[in-house]
Amino acid sequence: MRIVVKIGTSTLAHPSGHLNIRRVESLCRVISDIKNAGHEIILVSSGAIGMGVGKLGLREKPKDMPSKQAAAAVGQCELMYIYDKLFGEYHHTVAQLLITGDDTANETRHQNFINTLNRLLELGALPILNENDTVATDEIVIGDNDTLAAIVAESVRAGLLILLSDIDGLYTADPHTDPDAKLLHRVTKIDGAIRSLAGVSVTNQGTGGMVTKLRAAEICLRCGCDMVIANGNNPANLYDILDGKPVGTTFTEKCL
Ligand code: GLU
């Protein structure tokens, strides 16, 4: 199966902005194993700005655009260095693709991007994507990696998109404050009732939150790609998802 896995900043980094080494090592090991089992994997990784903040020793995430873009430029190098090192241990070759909204809106550029991705997969490489934060401005920004991951999944006709976040999935109420909050295991349609739950399942460090995850689910359901929101704190969740075990929230139109 062709699978897109999106890794959020909160999965990669401690709240301090520094790398969560244990988590990332285990994530790269599990993803390498899944790739060894014969699946095609594309990663969409956040964390460039977060890593840049840590590496530059800034006290907090900057608010102005040039500083955010500078942090992303530093952090993106750090991210790819880590991925190259860890996936290299399992003999997987990583490739970096940085794209903007323009690259998906313009037909020629979009096709070039799809061709490159497909060729990388044919060559057995592991493509790792992020938005090109250093040049993305208001007009061409995709804005969040949940949407980017769904656009990628649609573009390469992936069978599954997995969004790894700091929450178990979509809840009926805020699980931090409401003991009766229930995790929804399966959603087949994004309607008003589901959208109204976006505000209650709050995520912490990342850019998107549940609103962008539901937007990603809409894109996926439209093109027949299943999508799962799962907690990235346990990378072994990825095995369970592929084994069809109930992990997180699955968005699918397929019958059980
Ligand atoms: N592109 C941003 C980064 O790498 C993250 C965007 C997101 O978290 O959705 O820092």
Closest ligand 1 atom number to CA of residue 206: 8
Tell me, what's the pLDDT at 230?
Answer: 96
User: To test the ligand 1 pocket, which listed residue (11, 43, 145, 203) has its Cβ within 8 A of the most ligand atoms?
Assistant: 145
Which tens digit of pLDDT belongs to each residue from 123-150?
999 999 999 999 887 777 888 899 999 9
For residue 144 and ligand 1, the question of a CB distance below 6 A is answered with: yes
Domain assignment present for residue 205? The answer is yes
| Inside any domain, residue 20 | yes
- As a whole number of angstroms, the distance between CA 94 and CA 128 comes to 7
The phi, psi pair for 237, rounded to 5°, reads: -55, -30
Q: Which residue has the tokens 């976040």?
A: 165
Residue owning the nearest CA to atom 2 of ligand 1? 46
Quickly list H helices, 62-209: 65-89, 101-105, 107-122, 145-155, 192-195
Average predicted confidence (pLDDT) for the chain? 92
**22 alpha carbon – ligand 1 mean position (Å):** 21
Please state, in angstroms and rounded to a whole number, the distance separating the CA atoms of residues 141 and 115: 22
Whether 17 lines ligand 1, by a CB cut-off of 6 Å, is no
Which CATH number does the domain housing residue 183 bear?
Answer: 3.40.1160.10
Tokens encoding 212:
């962008």
Please tell me if the CB atom of residue 43 comes closer than 6 angstroms to any atom of ligand 1: no
Range of the domain at 239: 2-251
Question: For ligand 1, what atom is nearest to the CA of residue 52?
Answer: 10
135 within domain boundaries: yes
Tally the domains of the chain. 1
Structural domain contains residue 256: no
- Strand duo 249-251 + 226-231: pairing: antiparallel
Closest ligand 1 atom, residue 131 Cα: 1
Q: What is the pLDDT of residues 1-51, one digit of tens each?
A: 999 999 999 899 887 778 899 999 999 999 999 999 999 999 999 999 999
List pLDDT tens digits, range 190-201.
999 999 888 755
Reported as a single tens digit per residue, the pLDDT across 63-107 is 999 999 999 999 999 999 999 999 999 999 999 999 999 999 999
Q: Residue 9's Cα: distance from chain center in Å?
A: 9
> Is the CB of 131 inside a 6 Å radius of any atom of ligand 1?
yes
Q: Are 175 and 181 in contact, with CB atoms under 8 Å apart? A: yes
The answer to whether the CB of 72 is under 6 A from ligand 1 is: yes
Could you give the dihedral angle defined by the CA atoms of residues 180, 183, 188 and 194, in that order, rounded to the nearest 10 degrees? 50
- In this prediction the pTM is 0.94
Write down the pLDDT at residue 234.
94
